Chain A
């Protein structure tokens, strides 16, 4: 995942636009990936997951894309709403069944 740190990258998006959140993962042996959304004061909330034998998976208003060649994961949110404002984390699972989380991206939705 992304390197962690005190400063979260921030994505500002206009309400109604599409959002794309990117994540670079580190382990080419990772076979499972997952996206979480965390709102202030709450625990991470499951959004969508994907296995390494897939390139794309769609959910309700969300799509996850996996590019194993460049070890890149992205989350697309269609028609972003104010309720989508949160910190988004990607996570990968490799050997040992441990989930390794990225540092997160803050999404701010402007009305």
Chain B
């Protein structure tokens, strides 16, 4: 079974731009969660989607948004990028909602210049 696939692997943007990251979950998994990982703050929960509905949301500003498609693939979008948004963005999938036994992708490394 293929694992969680995230694209692109690396991304460089400038302040003020917007970015869209993509995640394909493990086949059969309907829950997709997004996390931000930085050296200073560690792993922080962004949001979770299940059956195309946002089920849970972390404490991030409205510039961070996401969606899930009918095939369970998910995208997250960050608008008006700030330098502090530079991070590794990780997507994780699970067969059910509830944020247990998450299977992570390798992440998208975003650098904001």
Query: Chain A: residues with CB nearer than 8 A to chain B?
Result: 4-6, 32, 34, 36, 41-46, 49, 89, 91, 93, 96-104
Contacts and interface: CB of A to CB of B under 8 A. Distances in A.
A32 B100 contact: yes
Given A4-B40, A97-B99, A101-B44, 4 more contacts: A5-B40, A36-B104, A43-B105, A46-B102
Interchain residue pairs A-B with the least CB separation, the first 10: A43-B104, A4-B42, A101-B43, A44-B104, A99-B99, A43-B106, A97-B99, A97-B98, A43-B105, A98-B45
Interface residues of B: mostly helix, strand, loop or mixed?
A: loop
Contact of B99 (A4, A45, A89, A98): A98
A102 B45 CA distance: 12
A97 B98 CA distance: 5
Interface string B73-113: 00000000000000000101000011111111111000000
B63 interface: no
B4 interface: yes
Nearest to B100: A32
Interface of B: 4, 39-45, 48, 55-56, 58, 90, 92, 97-107
Given A43-B4, A43-B107, A34 B101 contact: yes
Contacts of A42: 106
A93 B100 contact: yes
A44 B4 contact: no
B39 A49 contact: no
A4 B90 contact: no
